[in-house]
Amino acid sequence: MNESSNGRPGGYNSVVCIKQVPDTNKVTGSAMKADGTINRAALPAIFNPEDKCALEAALRVKDRWGGTVTVVTMGLPAACGILREALMCGADKAYLLTDRKAAGSDTLATSYILSKAVAMFKPDLVFCGRQAIDGDTAQVGPQIAEKLDCAAVTYLTGLEMDGDFAVAVRDIGTGVERDRVHLPALFTVSEAFGELRPAVVKRAMKYKKAKAPAENGGVALEGDLAIGQISCDDIGAEAERCGFAGSPTRVSNIISVVLAGGNYKDIPATDEGVASLVAELCADHTIG
């Protein structure tokens, strides 16, 4: 830390909530089941794009002001893939929150469970992606902040530290806003913040071997290569607020988007064709 730094001794401890999601940009006919639901297994599982930006935000704070970066994901053991990715890019510690009790959680239950997990680390800063591409709700971040009763700064585009405060720039749709925020604080980060740095080669070689007990016959690895594994009981989450039991919303019905159409009027790609189309639109006052 040089003298001009406006951080504080010891830096800042960050927790980043990340999620493994099906790559919904790759949904094609083969990924749709006959009943109109999505066959998640047919889609590649990826590190949610905006959660990568959230990790980048935490790593930049660590680079400049010191401290630690811890990543947490809630999901099945397969989600350890993105924890390893995060370790390769510079995260210090990774935790898998996996528990049957968490199954079927909507945003309210998810934010409750994650808030209990985050609280365990007593972070100064919490980062979440703005939203996940499988749900696009953007609800979990603000809901974690409400449960932690800390400041929530959504749509983060820039961040500076100043002692026990953060000075955050956020997109407010109609412009940008600069806020002075007392720590601890939670930030939701969108693609506008910046892309996640690539993995460091040395770290990639090392952390590709990192594993959670769930991937290793229940046995924790030694030292740095251990991905921590926690359950709802470990974080003191009440069962009735987790999973389906803790989720007030129900899916009543799902339909796949089937475009009826095909009955358009075919206009020849000629001067005459286009002229007749324009004439028709003028005649019915659509234009002119």
| Positions 121 through 160 that interact with another protein (CB under 8 A) | 133-143, 145-147, 150-155
Element (H, E) at 154: strand 151-162
Q: Does 282 bind another protein (CB under 8 A)?
A: yes
Q: Does 271 bind another protein (CB under 8 A)?
A: yes
Tell me the three-class secondary structure of 58-82, residue by residue. HHHHHHHHCEEEEEEEECCHHHHHH
* 219 versus 277: smaller Cβ distance to another protein: 277
Size of site (CB under 8 A) for another protein = 81
Q: Does 235 bind another protein (CB under 8 A)?
A: no
* 219 versus 279: smaller Cβ distance to another protein: 279
Among 37, 60, 84, 205, binds another protein (CB under 8 A): 37
Q: Does 30 bind another protein (CB under 8 A)?
A: no
CA–CA distance, 267 with 55 (Å, rounded to integer): 50
CA–CA distance, 72 with 83 (Å, rounded to integer): 8
Residue 92 and residue 235 in contact, taking contact as beta carbons nearer than 8 Å = no
Within residues 191-220, the interface with another protein by CB under 8 A covers: none
Within residues 161-190, the interface with another protein by CB under 8 A covers: 167, 171-182, 185
Among 107, 114, 125, 189, binds another protein (CB under 8 A): 107
Distances (CA, A) of 206 to 70, 87, 122, 211: 17, 9, 28, 11
Token pair for 234:
């470990």
